[in-house]
Amino acid sequence: MTAPGASSEVRASPGAVTPRPLLLSGNEAIARGAREAGVRVAAGYPGTPSTEILETLVRLDPGRQVYVEWSTNEKVGLDVALGAAIGGARALCAMKHVGLNVAADTFMTSAYTGVRAGLVVVSADDPGMHSSQNEQDNRVLVRFAGVPLLEPADSQEARDFTVHAFDLSERFDVPVVLRTTTRVSHARGIVAPGPLRVAPGLGFQRNPAKLVMLPGFARSRHRVMLERLEALEREAETSPLNRIEWGDRALGVVTSSIVYHYVRELVPGASVLRLGFSHPLPRALAREFAAGVERLIVVEELEPFLEEQLRALGLAVEGKAYFPRDGELGPEAIRRGFVRAGVIAEAGEKPLVSPPTVTRPPVLCPGCPHVAPYLALRQIGAVVSGDIGCYTLAAIEPLAAMDTTVAMGSSIGMAIGLARSGGATGPVVATIGDSTFLHAGLPALADAAYHRTRMTVLILDNGTTAMTGGQAHPAAGVTIRGDAAPTIDLPAVCRALGVEFVRVVDPYDLAQTQLALEQAAAFPGLSVIITNRPCVEAPVKVRDQPYTVLAEQCIACQYCMNLGCPSITWSAEWHEGRRKVQIDPVTCTGCTVCAQTCPTEAMVGLPGWSKPR
Ligand SMILES: Cc1ncc(C[n+]2csc(CCOP(=O)(O)OP(=O)(O)O)c2C)c(N)n1
């Protein structure tokens, strides 16, 4: 596929430019919509399913008219975007759902300050937890903050609602949240685009009573926020994003997001209240709809968000009694719900499920520099406070070397608590990736240094944000646009925070890594070990001399299998009732770690191999 938008303009007649339809994912369509709305500043932190939004914005802007950055975390990203909007530039901030927790401090109060130029906050939720640590429904957070919420159901709406969101934001002087779900973000659809543009800057206007949230000023801004919500509700009543589709009056379904499409397929004849602008709830529209149908059912993914608000209006409404409150609400779950509700008959209906796919558990890549440190941590009997990144896979077999993982950056603070609990059964080690360390680990390391906590922090520095596809960060030496950038010196940062024991190790040297961890654990204070091998997949693919197994030397001890390396598989040969192993030379990256675990030196570099030029 061509880069979305990059070559989309075709000349229909001399002088006129008509953008032709594009096949876009929801995320690409949001980026497209932002460019069409004239976005000037975009910031955010990577996180599935939101990551492609900023990456597409960069591709759509070869002329660099938009300032785009990967921020150190979502709060910084929202601060950047809010500051830009207050400075008069239309701004976008993109993150996954849990990112809004990180940004929540700014988010809640941005509803008081307002924005001046349009500010759109994209929250990409992940029902079903395809790649997340929880499946919180951010509609609840948006309502809590008192800001408007738009929920596109497909790529065309992702583009349209983004454009609409910028206008709404500017008209009502409020950040607008555009909430997608994984299906909307990642499914592709045809989009009719408009022309790209850069909105004129509105300039900054000094107004401390609006922008400096001292209690005295904030009190009146809270009232402004509440009055604005009433105005927004009036807007939602007549918004084209909300509509009643009258059909059979025996059943009325209230729904939003992609679930709308599933409902339309399953009960095509029903009346539907479709909410694209779902907060504040257009209560008059909901009452009108309820009055026009005999039975009112809400079909919504995750929380009973609409259902409870409708019930609070005194309406006789059903919903979660039939539909699950957890997991993705796909067509089959909705069909079963309608069967339970007696809306459709079970008999004769084929289940709407795809043929089962073969389950492939996630694994660390061949040559992943995260493997050996966890093997070493197991050897020293550490209690490992883990974090979120590729390395979280070390929690599962065969490494099975991680004891806790909760939220990004939590490893260090939780290690402090584990160390202070007195209950740890071994040396306490926090393990954290470089991107996560910069995201939320730094303040916790300062805390550990400040209180002289006896523990070890292992920073797994692979030079990138690997888990989300290799995005840059402040220690990666590069920006989202690929420009060279200053690189944070991680050992120097740790020393500056007051850590006395700081050591850099090569994680491909198993013995050195284990020794360093043992010494760090023996140090009577706070110690930091930093690994220094780049990710084998990004930004460049690291491929060195592959290894092979000398079958006659393999005694089938299977130690190497503890690495969980996908390149090591069972061979057809046996030794004393156990299977020998072999190495796939195509996927082996030549990291040498398996050879270091082999007691008979049966693993050697593939003879006759030379690095292709
Ligand atoms: C608050 C929050 N933001 C974003 C994410 C998505 N995410 C998961 S791990 C991760 C960073 C991984 O990078 P790093 O710590 O360097 O480890 P690596 O994957 O490179 O080993 C990100 C951005 C998340 N889970 N939570």
For residue 214, how far is its CA from the centre of ligand 1 (angstroms)?
34
Beta strands 176-181 and 119-125 are parallel
What span, in angstroms and rounded, lies between the C-alpha atoms of 448 and 504?
Answer: 19
For residue 51, how far is its CA from the centre of ligand 1 (angstroms)?
11
Question: What are the pLDDT digits (tens) for 159-214?
Answer: 999 999 999 999 999 999 999 999 999 999 999 999 999 999 999 999 999 999 99
Question: What are the pLDDT digits (tens) for 49-68?
Answer: 999 999 999 999 999 999 99
For residue 75, how far is its CA from the centre of ligand 1 (angstroms)?
15
For residue 469, how far is its CA from the centre of ligand 1 (angstroms)?
10
| Residue to mutate, 468, 530, 533, ligand 1, most ligand atoms under 8 Å from C-beta | 468
Helix crossing, 371-379 with 510-522: angle to 10°? Answer: 50
Give the pocket of ligand 1 (CB within 6 Å): 45-47, 96, 98-99, 102, 133, 388-391, 408, 433-436, 460, 462, 464-468
For residue 435, how far is its CA from the centre of ligand 1 (angstroms)?
7
Atom 15 in ligand 1: residue holding the nearest Cα: 433
Beta strand spans in 346-427 (E): 383-385
Identify the three-state secondary structure at position 597: helix
Name residues whose C-beta falls within 8 Å of residue 15's C-beta, 6 or more positions apart in sequence.
Answer: none
| Residue to mutate, 435, 437, 460, 473, ligand 1, most ligand atoms under 8 Å from C-beta | 435
Asked whether the beta carbons of 533 and 508 are under 8 A apart, the reply is: yes
Asked whether the beta carbons of 519 and 106 are under 8 A apart, the reply is: no
Question: What are the pLDDT digits (tens) for 424-470?
Answer: 999 999 999 999 999 999 999 999 999 999 999 999 999 999 999 99
pLDDT level of residue 8 (50, 70, 90 thresholds): very low
Name residues whose C-beta falls within 8 Å of residue 156's C-beta, 6 or more positions apart in sequence.
Answer: 29, 189, 190, 191, 192
pLDDT at 14: 45
Mean pLDDT within 579-606:
97
For residue 378, how far is its CA from the centre of ligand 1 (angstroms)?
23
> Strand pairing partners for 44?
70, 94
| Residue to mutate, 45, 388, 393, ligand 1, most ligand atoms under 8 Å from C-beta | 388
pLDDT at 15: 46
Mean pLDDT of the chain: 95
Question: What are the pLDDT digits (tens) for 399-427?
Answer: 999 999 999 999 999 999 999 999 999 99
For residue 100, how far is its CA from the centre of ligand 1 (angstroms)?
14
Question: What are the pLDDT digits (tens) for 79-122?
Answer: 999 999 999 999 999 999 999 999 999 999 999 999 999 999 99
> Quick count: other Cβ atoms within 10 Å of Cβ 455?
26
For residue 377, how far is its CA from the centre of ligand 1 (angstroms)?
21
Name residues whose C-beta falls within 8 Å of residue 264's C-beta, 6 or more positions apart in sequence.
Answer: 272
What span, in angstroms and rounded, lies between the C-alpha atoms of 394 and 365?
Answer: 12
Token pair of 609 as six digits = 């191999």
State which ligand 1 atom lies nearest to the alpha carbon of 436: 15
pLDDT level of residue 321 (50, 70, 90 thresholds): very high
pLDDT at 1: 31
The model carries a pTM of 0.95
Of 214-223, 342-351, 481-490, minimum mean pLDDT range: 342-351
Beta strand spans in 208-338 (E): 242-245, 248-256, 270-275, 277-279, 296-299, 317-318
Backbone angles phi, psi at 52, to 5 degrees: -70, -10
Atom 13 in ligand 1: residue holding the nearest Cα: 465
Burial of 525 (0-12, 13-18, 19+ CB in 10 A): middle
Query: Which CA distances in Å does 531 have to 415, 445, 516, 613?
Result: 19, 17, 11, 28
199-209 in b/e form (b: 16+ CB < 10 A) is: beebeeeeeee
pLDDT at 350: 67
> Strand pairing partners for 501?
527
**Amino acid residing at 233:** E
All domains in the chain, ordered by first residue: 9-237 (3.40.50.970), 244-340 (3.40.50.920), 371-531 (3.40.50.970), 547-605 (3.30.70)
